[in-house]
């Protein structure tokens, strides 16, 4: 999920340069990418760190640090972004197919850590970042109760620990061939629907290419919780396991130890928030 405030600065350049984002010390050696382009259900990767091997087996029990974006042990670099190691080959396949049809698939956003999401959350609650209503008008949070503030933020931003971007399986994408290098990506519906600049790319993906490569769009429709995000895709074979194992209990435990604004109200209403904003109904 992308934050509205981030949409004006969501160009890949800004995201990559973010100090909390895709730290280069976490990058795998380039040669590992060849090894990692095996199938996710292939044999263990000889010479890989324990974390990567465990990452390739994320159909089994996934530890809570990985579920809540509190570790990068299962991630590798793909085009300058950190992604789950099992997604390398599907992404390569999707990019190759896109290139053959004249599109240039790029990631605007991939992995985002718990700490990064926590900063976004606290900045929004405290007014350092804007929060908008459904019509794009900036809200004055001081006029709202804590509970109303939480709901207003969660329309656009995930609760720390509950972002699908914590997993490395979910990406905000765009077609670099449709715009010139100076274009500032907004990640707004007008870009991806109707006559929007990226609409042909997304229409092409929906033609069957996306599903055939194992991806889907968890925020395709507005169900009253999270606003629709056509640009957000998810690698289903791995992400569904993460989604199934991210329970209210795992989330509550992570949040309890975090310095998050409105913690008591969040924890007291976590069941409702979980059902409305975190569970993806398909
Ligand atoms: Zn997203």
Whether 1 shows a pLDDT value over 60: the answer reads no
Mean pLDDT of the chain: 83
- Ligand 1 center from residue 154 Cα (angstroms): 13
Which residues, at least 6 apart from 160, have a Cβ–Cβ distance to it below 8 Å? 68, 69, 114, 117, 118, 121, 254, 255, 258, 260
Q: Which whole number is the average pLDDT over 91-102?
A: 97
- Ligand 1 center from residue 170 Cα (angstroms): 7
- Ligand 1 center from residue 230 Cα (angstroms): 9
Domains and CATH numbers, the chain: 4-278 (3.30.1380.10)
- Ligand 1 center from residue 253 Cα (angstroms): 24
- Ligand 1 center from residue 97 Cα (angstroms): 22
Which residues, at least 6 apart from 248, have a Cβ–Cβ distance to it below 8 Å? 270, 271, 274
- Ligand 1 center from residue 163 Cα (angstroms): 8
Q: How far is CA 208 from the centre of its chain?
A: 22
- Ligand 1 center from residue 3 Cα (angstroms): 8
pLDDT tens digit string along 99-155? 999 999 999 999 999 999 999 999 999 999 999 988 888 999 999 999 999 999 999
- Ligand 1 center from residue 109 Cα (angstroms): 7
pLDDT tens digit string along 52-79? 666 666 667 899 999 999 999 999 999 9
What's the pTM? 0.80
- Ligand 1 center from residue 229 Cα (angstroms): 7
pLDDT tens digit string along 7-50? 333 333 233 323 233 333 333 333 233 333 334 444 444 444 55
HSE-CB for 206 with a 13 A CA cutoff: 13
């Amino acid at each position: 999920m992308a934050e509205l405030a981030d949409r004006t600065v969501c160009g890949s350049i800004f995201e990559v340069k973010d100090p909390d984002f895709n730290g280069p010390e976490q990058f795998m050696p380039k040669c590992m990418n060849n090894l990692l382009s095996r199938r996710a259900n292939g044999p263990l990767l000889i010479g890989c760190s324990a974390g990567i091997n465990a990452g390739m087996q994320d159909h089994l029990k996934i530890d809570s640090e990985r579920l809540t974006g509190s570790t990068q042990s299962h991630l590798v670099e793909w085009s300058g972004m950190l992604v789950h190691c099992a997604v390398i080959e599907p992404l390569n396949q999707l990019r190759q197919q896109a290139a053959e049809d004249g599109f240039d698939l790029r990631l605007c956003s991939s992995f985002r850590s718990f700490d990064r999401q926590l900063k976004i959350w606290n900045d929004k609650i405290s007014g350092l970042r804007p929060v908008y209503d459904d019509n794009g008008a900036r809200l004055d949070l001081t006029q709202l109760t804590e509970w109303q503030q939480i709901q207003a933020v969660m329309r656009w931003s995930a609760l720390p620990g509950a972002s699908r971007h914590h997993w490395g399986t979910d990406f905000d994408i765009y077609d670099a061939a449709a715009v010139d290098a100076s274009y500032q990506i907004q990640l707004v519906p007008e870009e991806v629907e109707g006559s929007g600049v990226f609409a042909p790319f997304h229409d092409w993906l929906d033609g069957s290419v996306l599903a055939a490569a194992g991806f889907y769009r968890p925020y395709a429709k507005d169900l009253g919780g999270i606003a629709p995000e056509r640009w957000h895709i998810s690698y289903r074979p791995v992400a569904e396991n993460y989604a199934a194992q991210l329970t209210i209990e795992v989330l509550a435990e992570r949040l309890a130890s975090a310095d998050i604004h409105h913690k008591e109200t969040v924890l007291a209403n976590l069941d409702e928030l979980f059902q409305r904003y975190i569970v993806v109904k398909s």
